[in-house]
Structure 1
């Protein structure tokens, strides 16, 4: 179950962001979450659940904190890949191929690039494990149970009303944080 947390929070990062351009840029440049890691399937069965405003507020707070952790880790992973003298696009091509069980022989990459990928992947996996721990700690520090967090997230994937409630709370929180830092609040909303 812990392996689901990072992709879930990455998805929530995009929910919280208002800039489509930023989302597109991050999606195209960042390394995949973890090779061999099961990805969350939005069509997994979930029961209709009741989520109080207080729980949704905690969920949103966790998501915003996780967004910050995730953004820092993405930069760290990109630096690792670049230090191996491998571009992110080549890294992603190899990672996707291996995730899908395809042979390295089918790729248009050199043996040297595969070796650099293997070296970078080991370091990236270390970062991902550390980030998972930070994410778990963040969930627990907000007073949420990890299972409940996942249950809300799964419902969020299928319930547009719940998505809107979370997005509204996240936007309000970000505006309040902006005000606390001396930034003007948008009065139009």
Structure 2
């Protein structure tokens, strides 16, 4: 496995739970993940992360194009997602929030398709990608 892919894999493992690379290797032995699968996973993970960043930027653009600051949108979104939290927003802000959410929901199928394609192009199935990711967590 190339050094770059190992580094990416270590970063992924560190981000998902603070596992060391040695723990990841032990996990590999336990769950019978081959070096080839880890390499494919690392390839897919890199592309998925890039697609995720692009998607986030698209969402930021949608939020800003609808006249709302990202931080304010985030605050309203968190409040609307929590039934125990009161939403402190004006009617105008709520209308903007709803319009933004509608646009984001329209974008989701294309974003998911790009990520699924990235995984498939790496040579592993979505199910195996998810299983390896779960095992690394």
TM-score, normalising length from structure 2? Answer: 0.74
Q: Which residue of 2 aligns with 1:34?
A: none
Q: C-alpha distance in 1, partners of 2:83/2:113?
A: 28
Q: C-alpha distance in 2, partners of 1:130/1:99?
A: 23
C-alpha change, 1:102 and 1:121, in structure 2 (3 Å) is: farther
Q: Which residue of 2 aligns with 1:160?
A: none
What are the Cα deviations for residues 101-131 of structure 1, in whole angstroms up to 9, with x where unaligned? 246xx22211100100000011112222211
Task: Give secondary structure in 1 for the equivalent of 2:115.
Answer: helix
Q: Which residue of 2 aligns with 1:138?
A: 118
Where do residues 1-189 of structure 1 align in structure 2 (5 Å cutoff)? 15=11, 48-102=30-84, 106-157=86-137
Q: CA RMSD in A?
A: 1.7
Q: C-alpha distance in 2, partners of 1:68/1:156?
A: 20
- The answer for unaligned runs of 5 or more in structure 2 is 1-7, 13-29
TM-score, normalising length from structure 1? Answer: 0.55
Q: C-alpha distance in 2, partners of 1:131/1:55?
A: 24
How far is 1:76 from its partner?
0.7
Matched positions, count? 111
Structure with more of its chain in helix, by fraction: 2
Q: C-alpha distance in 1, partners of 2:49/2:61?
A: 18
C-alpha change, 1:152 and 1:70, in structure 2 (3 Å) is: same
The ranges of structure 1 where at least 4 consecutive aligned residues each deviate by more than 4 angstroms after the TM superposition are none
